Amino acid sequence: MAQSFAWAAELVAGVLEGGNLTDAYERMQAAHPEWPEATRGAVRDLAWTTLREFRHGSVVLDHLLQTSPATLIHALLLVALARLRQRPEQSHTVVDQAVQAAAALMPGLKNLVNGVLRNALRQRAQWPAWVELDPEARHGFPAWWIQRVKTAHPAAWEAALAAGNERPPMAVRVNPRRASIEQAQAELEAVGSACRRLANDALLLERALPVARLPGYAEGRVSVQDAGAQWAARLLDPQAGERVLDACAAPGGKTAHLLERADVELLALELDPVRARRVEHNLARLGLHAEVKVADCRERARWWDGRPFDRILADVPCSASGVVRRHPDIKWLRRDTDIVQFAAQQAQILEALWHTLAPGGTMLYVTCSVFDEENAGQIARFCARHADALRLPIEGRPDLQLLPDAEHDGFYFALLRKQA
């Protein structure tokens, strides 16, 4: 456990210094190919849990420390406090292992770690009161984030924030070209993983499984994809023979889903060459084909041949506020001003793509955000600029906003038709 604490502390320290958690974790895995599955899971769980509860741990440390220690030791203390909340019955073991981790990371500060954690245990009864007095700690999000969600979703803001601090659900998508939903369900249940079929045919697992242990994954029968994300291909509803654009394609889940549903001519664009290769690898595993280009979708002259598209999936870059439980570093690295910048980028993408859509064609605008400025507000502004943009209802509503819950992450969908 001590070594896992040390590795997790390194990941958390990287975030405290402004780094990306997922990228750091992938680099760490690559540097330790000898890690067994249990170690990978333990390090990930420790780091992700710590950052979901970052402000909670920070409030406790604010009451225990007069001056902040070195970033790495500060991170280690946060990891240990998160573990103490998670496993209170192991308190003495947690303290002992954290001290051992400190001895390996910064030997001169192991006594500090020991003293702070033992003091924390003595004052454990006061933790709830300290947290209750701090809204950021109570809700687990920065104040500006809380206010944006509260304004956009006044009837559901507390539930949305609470869900954003839970462990994310795991869902799979069945490739109908290689398996039936019933077959996939039976295979999952045969390995002891019960699942439930949702309204959009996503299979929601009762408990998460390592991807390598998913029956049918290597053979391309199933893919891991959040249940909310699986609405995109169904809503765009491509038809055989149509020309389709996936404008921001990586890592390729929605691209593949479109191709699984219909025989279409699909162009997938991705700005990052490394992420573009991930799209190609995902398609190859599933036995699917699309033209994949590395390009900025806003620069039409670099990628568009002038032939209009019948359908466009505009899954635009966004704050990722709807998937923050999968990327808990986001809520502490983002700034309120970032949302304005994302909205401006999204508007540029919409303008560029609208020119490539055929009259009578359909565009699905998608974000994994719960902020209005990126969602309903963005679409309202776009439609005000474009008289030829007709909003198509989704299940009787102008659009579809999914807030994170026990079944899916947070997503926004708006369907637009280009009038002739």
- Spatial distance between the Cα atoms of 1 and 186, rounded to a whole number of angstroms: 36
Q: At 268, is the pLDDT very low, low, confident or very high (cuts 50, 70, 90)?
A: very high
368 is annotated as an active-site residue: yes
- Examine the pLDDT at 133 and tell me if it is beyond 90: yes
**What pTM did the predictor assign?**
0.92
Which pLDDT score, from 0 to 100, does residue 98 have? 93
> Which pair of structure tokens corresponds to residue 390?
């007709």
Instruction: Quote the radius of gyration of the chain (alpha carbons, Å).
Output: 23
The overall average pLDDT reported for the chain is 95
Which pLDDT score, from 0 to 100, does residue 241 have? 97
- Examine the pLDDT at 141 and tell me if it is beyond 90: yes
Q: What number is the average pLDDT over the span 138-166? A: 96
Which pLDDT score, from 0 to 100, does residue 267 have? 98
DSSP 89-135: GGHHHHHHHHHHHHHHH-GGGHHHHHHHHHHHHHTGGGHHHHHHT-H
The DSSP H or E segment spanning 311 is strand 309-315
DSSP 349-367: HHHHHHTTEEEEEEEEEEE
Catalytic residue (one of 248, 297, 368, 383): 368
Which pLDDT score, from 0 to 100, does residue 376 have? 97
End-to-end CA distance of the chain: 64
Which pLDDT score, from 0 to 100, does residue 2 have? 87
Architecture of domain 227-418: 3-Layer(aba) Sandwich (3.40)
pLDDT digits (tens, 9 = 90+) for 10-22: 999 999 999 999 9
Residues of the chain with CATH 3.30.70.1170: 170-225
Contacts 24+ apart (CB under 8 A), 383-386: 383/416, 386/354
Strand order through the sheet with 195-197: 195-197, 203-205, 171-174, 222-224
- Examine the pLDDT at 260 and tell me if it is beyond 90: yes
Residues of the chain with CATH 1.10.940.10: 2-139
Which pLDDT score, from 0 to 100, does residue 245 have? 98
pLDDT digits (tens, 9 = 90+) for 314-367: 999 999 999 999 999 999 999 999 999 999 999 999 999 999 999 999 999 999
3-state secondary structure of 139: helix
Specify the CATH number for 170-225; select among 3.30.70.1170, 3.40.640.10, 3.30.499.10, 3.30.70.3000: 3.30.70.1170
Angle at 413 between CA 408 and CA 418, to 5 degrees: 160
Residues of the chain with CATH 3.40.50.150: 227-418
- Spatial distance between the Cα atoms of 110 and 115, rounded to a whole number of angstroms: 9
Q: What number is the average pLDDT over the span 199-210? A: 93
- Examine the pLDDT at 37 and tell me if it is beyond 90: no
- Examine the pLDDT at 67 and tell me if it is beyond 90: no
- Spatial distance between the Cα atoms of 310 and 236, rounded to a whole number of angstroms: 10
Which pLDDT score, from 0 to 100, does residue 44 have? 94
User: Alpha helix (H) ranges present in 218-300?
Assistant: 231-236, 253-261, 273-286
What sign for the dihedral angle of Cα 212, 171, 415, 262? Answer: positive
Q: What number is the average pLDDT over the span 26-39? A: 91
Which pLDDT score, from 0 to 100, does residue 147 have? 97
Q: At 229, is the pLDDT very low, low, confident or very high (cuts 50, 70, 90)?
A: very high
pLDDT digits (tens, 9 = 90+) for 98-110: 999 999 999 999 8
337-352 in b/e burial notation, b at 16+ Cβ within 10 A?
eebeebbeebeebbeb
Q: What number is the average pLDDT over the span 261-268? A: 97
Residue 283's beta-bridge partner residues? none
Range in 50-64, 257-271, 374-388 with the lowest mean pLDDT: 50-64
Which pLDDT score, from 0 to 100, does residue 210 have? 87
Architecture of domain 2-139: Orthogonal Bundle (1.10)
Contact 78, 57 (CB under 8 A): yes
Q: Which of 128, 21, 135, 118 is nearest to 75 (CA)?
A: 21
Which pLDDT score, from 0 to 100, does residue 375 have? 98
- Spatial distance between the Cα atoms of 316 and 354, rounded to a whole number of angstroms: 13
Q: What number is the average pLDDT over the span 238-267? A: 96
pLDDT digits (tens, 9 = 90+) for 377-399: 999 999 999 999 999 999 899 99
Which pLDDT score, from 0 to 100, does residue 66 have? 86
* Strand boundaries in 175-274, DSSP class E: 195-197, 203-205, 222-224, 243-246, 265-270
